Amino acid sequence: MALQALQSSGVAFRKILSHFPEELSLAFAYGSGVYRQAGPSANQKNAMLDFVFTVDDPVAWHSKNLKKNWNHYSFLKVLGPKTITIVQNNYGAGVYYNPLVVCDGRLVKYGVISTSVLIEDLLNWNTLYIAGRLQKPVKIVAMNENVSLRSALDKNLKSAVTTAFLMLPESFSEEDLFIEIAGLSYSDKSPEGQFTQLMTLPKTLQQQINHIVDPPGRNRDVEETLLQVAHDPDCGDVVRRGLSAIVRPSSMKQSIKGIFTGGVKKSVIYSSLKLQKMWKGWLRKTF
């Protein structure tokens, strides 16, 4: 039964994909519409389906998508595919979202990101927006033979494992290990081992750690700062603060951009749906 459900969902996702231009280097689905959520009131069938489409040429892709799905876009559609791509690449986290779209009878939200922008985020964690999503369970619906993209996807997961391990306490359970996506290459969390791992972290996270630890005016070398952090008992906390410094501003900017890309009406509806979902989750935990 589980296998049949998985196969049928894959067919449904590919059917939805047929409504969009084919030139995708990667397409994946995620969220409660893909994976069953905990709780008796969780309704997977009626949940919104979330997709991310990765494209090599955003201008060409949006141009074709505007012809096929003009009504998906906000007022920005009248400015054309070049302006849409500028908004996509230069504001927020490099993603252009079209929310609350009805496709094959399902409510869909899809984001479009440039392949080159995604690869940079996967390797360097510039925003950790889509890279962070790809560290969680996702359903790959389509993927081409882009070697650079595949390599970056692997590197992102390895970086996530390294970072999670740095944030674990000295002793932890097997459950903690899996929750933190930790793969152990060092067993005594020694300063030498932590320094080696810190040196393999994505560039943007290293820079954020350096900014947190290094006093203004010192301008120390990043390697020197990471060596200090490796000997710090609060190494994991410093790494966590560095992650927060990346995620918080990119998420806020992307949310603000959503008002323009999704339109005011759709943004209000989408926000109310998210708040409703959060409220139901809180009630389940409380009662």
Q: How many C-beta atoms surround the C-beta of residue 160 within 10 A?
A: 22
Would you write out the chain's pLDDT as a tens digit for each of its 287 residues? 444 444 556 788 889 999 999 999 999 998 878 877 655 445 556 677 989 999 999 999 999 999 999 999 988 899 999 999 998 998 778 999 888 889 888 889 899 999 999 999 999 988 888 998 888 889 999 999 999 999 999 999 889 888 887 777 777 775 765 566 533 223 375 566 677 778 778 888 888 888 888 766 566 778 778 888 887 778 888 888 888 888 776 666 666 666 566 665 565 555 555 555 554 554 454 44
Pick from 135, 121, 136: nearest CA to 204? 121
Distance CA 259, CA 272 (A): 13
Pick from 15, 20, 34, 11: nearest CA to 110? 20
Q: What DSSP state is assigned to residue 94?
A: S
Helix, strand, coil fractions of the chain, as percent rounded to 5? 55, 10, 30
The values of phi and psi at residue 263, to 5°, are: 90, 150
CB-based burial, 101-118: b 16+ in 10 Å, e otherwise: bebeebebbbbbbbbbbb
Per-residue model confidence (pLDDT) at position 187 = 35
Q: Set out the domains of the chain in order of their start, with CATH numbers.
A: 2-39+48-155 (3.30.460)
| CA 232 remoteness from chain centre | 29
Distance CA 34, CA 171 (A): 34
CB-based burial, 163-184: b 16+ in 10 Å, e otherwise: bbbbebeeeeeeeeeeebebee
